[in-house]
Amino acid sequence: MAEVYAGPATTMTPAPRPRDLRLDFFRGVAMIVILVAHITDNPWALFMPGRFGFSDSAEIFVFCSGMASALAFGTLFARAGWLLGTARIAHRIWQVYWVHIGIFLLTLALMVAINATGLFPRDVVSGLNLKPFLNETGPNLLGLLTLTYVPNYFDILPMYIVLLAMLPLFLLLARVDRRLAMAVSVALWTLAQFGLLNLPAELWFERGSTRAWFFNPFAWQLVFMTGYALMAGWLPVPPVRRGLVVLALAIVLVTVPFAWHVTLGAFEGLRSLRGDWWFLFEKTTQGALRYVHFLALAYLAWVAVGPKGAWLTQGTRRVPVVQAVSLVGRQSLAVFAVSMVIARGLGALLDLFGRDFAATVAVNLLGLGLLYATAVVVTWFKSSPWKAPVRPAGVASVPRAGRAMPEGPVSAMPVSGPEVRG
């Protein structure tokens, strides 16, 4: 969460906001958890936050995406108007769409290649339920391109695309009243709880299928819009109070027995109770207790990092781990794409070498290293280093007044002073 102005809207164009370290950091945390959780039968996944509560990294990803959208698009809508703002969102949807298609095709190719080697014990293509695509490629290719064929492993970005597509509608409603926009968000979530809204996930299967998207975007938009509303100032910033901290902590702790596999396995009563009230924890429809659990976690995390993320920065000192995780969060789309492709390959390595302590550590660290390397490379490309001015060979700089030129070769680094062509 961020400290934002929550007062009445004005006609003035808001100034661009600087990056919020907390947003980048928690997005980076979500990317790390998503990778660990998607590596097949990864022992480390047993220690991820989602194993101890109703919500997991998916909520972090969607919530932070809503906050990031407020920073990326909110000012643009205020400055350039609704039509141009919608056009910018359409451009972003176009980018995310092709990332989704690329993730699917690259992952499919990797899974086919792993099976073709004959070295790995698991049929990784069937493990992702991709045989229907290979067996009925024609109709399912059409489904893939129209987002009507959405396998479970590849369902996060399609949901994100729909959330982005819905955002201009919410912003149009907010012109009338911000409360109206949030009321519509709650209404869509409510309809999704009763199974009245969703999208088909296997529309083109020859034998027929009624399976809907695993992540129902009409339900998950509530998490997205909550993040957007907090960052945009539509909702007030929650105060830091001991009573609220105790309440949030109690919510998190009380849910542990109903989510942790150890307690669920030990007590039949807990399993029975969870089974009776499954719709409150349902991931597809973002059940009410999932939403409440995530809000409690988000509040505790926001309080824990301190005002403006003071505990992350520790004053003006750079914390290497925080900086690395934040860099991963800043390049979340590229990092997410890479993580989805490599996760199953890393799982295949665990199948091959076993899941003892050394192999598990090595494979997970390899994956985390690849995520960080992706963030570094993407950051370098986005900096457009080829646009930096390059001084032709033989050009020397003029020494500043009162300073002698050093002996030895002239530096090849570009300088800001005048140049003399020799």
| C-alpha to C-alpha distance for 170 and 165, rounded to whole angstroms | 10
For 410-422, how does the pLDDT look when each residue is reduced to its tens digit (9 = 90+)?
333 333 333 333 3
Pick the closest to residue 395 from 416, 410, 417 (CA basis): 410
Q: Using the predicted structure, report yes or no on whether residue 403 has a pLDDT greater than 50.
A: no
pLDDT of residue 228: 97
As to burial, measured by CB atoms within 10 angstroms (0-12 exposed, 13-18 middle, 19+ buried), residue 405 is exposed
Pick the closest to residue 73 from 95, 60, 89, 61 (CA basis): 89
Q: What is the pTM of this model?
A: 0.87
Confidence label for 206 from pLDDT (cuts 50, 70 and 90): confident
Mean pLDDT calculated for residue range 330-352? 95
- The 8-class DSSP code of residue 361 comes to H
Contact 14, 78 (CB under 8 A): yes
| C-alpha to C-alpha distance for 213 and 200, rounded to whole angstroms | 6
Between strands 395-397 and 419-421, the pairing is: antiparallel
Pick the closest to residue 27 from 325, 314, 233 (CA basis): 325
Helix (H) or strand (E) holding 167: helix 156-176
Tokens of 1: 């969460």
Tokens of 186: 């709650």
Angle at CA of residue 129, ends 287 and 147, nearest 5°: 65
pLDDT of residue 7: 40
Confidence label for 21 from pLDDT (cuts 50, 70 and 90): confident
Q: Using the predicted structure, report yes or no on whether residue 400 has a pLDDT greater than 90.
A: no
For 57-100, how does the pLDDT look when each residue is reduced to its tens digit (9 = 90+)?
999 999 999 999 999 999 899 999 999 999 999 999 999 999 99
- Average pLDDT for the chain: 88
pLDDT of residue 8: 41
pLDDT of residue 398: 54
Tokens of 70: 């407020």
Listed in sequence order, the residues at least 6 apart from 361 whose beta carbon sits closer than 8 Å to its beta carbon are: none
pLDDT of residue 204: 87
| C-alpha to C-alpha distance for 42 and 197, rounded to whole angstroms | 34
pLDDT of residue 388: 81
Length of the chain, in residues: 422
Within 10 A of 395 (CB to CB), how many other CB atoms are there?
Answer: 15
For 296-324, how does the pLDDT look when each residue is reduced to its tens digit (9 = 90+)?
999 999 999 998 888 888 666 668 899 99
| C-alpha to C-alpha distance for 334 and 392, rounded to whole angstroms | 35
Confidence label for 393 from pLDDT (cuts 50, 70 and 90): low
For 90-138, how does the pLDDT look when each residue is reduced to its tens digit (9 = 90+)?
999 999 999 999 999 999 999 999 999 998 888 999 988 899 999 999 9
